[in-house]
Structure 1
Amino acid sequence: MQIRIATSEDLDDLVRIYAAARRYMAEHGNPHQWGDGRPSPEEIANSVEEGACRVGVDEDDRAHFSFTIYSEEDPTYQQIYDGAWLNDEPYVTIHRVASDGTMRGVFSSVLARAKDEAGKLGIHNLRIDTHNDNLTMQHVVAKAGFSYCGIIHLKDGDPRLAYQLVL
């Protein structure tokens, strides 16, 4: 397995991966997080265009998981409720982790890539958020050593559980 920056040639695979992730979430008690078809093909294409989208590929370069990485401040992380961030230092944000379910150890690979990219930027913090019903993501985030920090709200007002890892 290798992780690379997604290109426009990956768009069909990315749409397939996010559809598989939505099915998985719905089957495991989380039908609302991306139940409205998000991320939309347009949102996926925008993250590819921005250079933020990453894909995990097999030896044939077929994509099986995806995530986005951002190194600029996330506006939805400016206010946190019922808790606090561990520090106010720069951070890399991991968003939209999704898998087609065919590879194991996806989040470990995502985390290793995020740590590597953060290190190259001289950044020593990772942040991530997830839906309250996304028990799978909560489990892997805690297992990876992230600390629960509180609740943030997306642009549309939806609450998310917020986590931080100091590297």
Structure 2
Amino acid sequence: MTGLIRPACEKDLDAVMDIYNAARAFMRSTGNLTQWVGGYPSRAHAERDLAAGWLWVYDEGAGPVACMSVMPGPNRTYAAIEGGPWLNDEPYWVMHRLACARPGHGIGAALLAFLCEEHDNVRADTHEDNVPMQRALERAGFVRRGTIICDDGTPRIAYHYVR
């Protein structure tokens, strides 16, 4: 695996949108028909994450092929969790919108490994139909904790990583 994980820059935004589109297509091909619908995530999400310094990309030299957003907590949707407590109540980081243009090549795992090297307390969530992301999070050392409810009212499986 030869790539560079780096903060995104403005010239990466078109590639990030292509990555999001590829991730949507992959989700549909694996039976995940209801996550990332209605234009989510949008360019506005990517632009906001970029402006805040939260957007990271995996660049193989010809441009980004994967991305993720990493932001400081707290996240209001994580305030209530059903089915089990978080592993701790310490300050944490949140990972959202991990996406790969070419799933199955270890790039998502590389992004998660980088995330866990940089931060020792991270929360994340994913859709119940997103089995590939559930497996990736668990392989990276995240522990399934319960269910949270997103702003749009839909449930997500909540994960927590503590080094």
* TM bracket (short chain): over 0.9
State the identity %: 37
What is the DSSP-based 3-state SS (H/G/I as helix, E as strand, rest coil) of the residue aligned with 1:89?
A: coil
User: TM-score, normalised to structure 2's length?
Assistant: 0.93
2:91 touches 2:121 (CA, 8 Å); kept in 1? yes
Which letter maps to 1:116? E
* Distance change >3 Å, CA 102–CA 140, structure 1 → 2: closer
For residues 103 and 163 of structure 1, the distance between their equivalents in structure 2, rounded to whole angstroms, comes to 21
For residues 69 and 27 of structure 2, the distance between their equivalents in structure 1, rounded to whole angstroms, comes to 18
Superposition RMSD on alpha carbons, in Å? Answer: 1.3
Task: Tell me the alpha carbon deviations over residues 51-86 of structure 1, each in whole angstroms, 9 at most, x when there is no partner.
Answer: 1000000123x1000000012311111110121111
Q: How is 1:6-155 mapped onto 2 (pairs within 5 angstroms)?
A: 6-60=8-62, 62-101=63-102, 104-118=105-119, 124-155=120-151
For residues 58 and 106 of structure 1, the distance between their equivalents in structure 2, rounded to whole angstroms, comes to 10
5+ residue gaps, structure 2: none
1:159 aligns to 2:155 (yes or no): yes
1:5 touches 1:53 (CA, 8 Å); kept in 2? yes
Corresponding residue for residue 121 of structure 1: none
Matched positions, count:
161
Cα displacement (A) at 1:32: 0.9
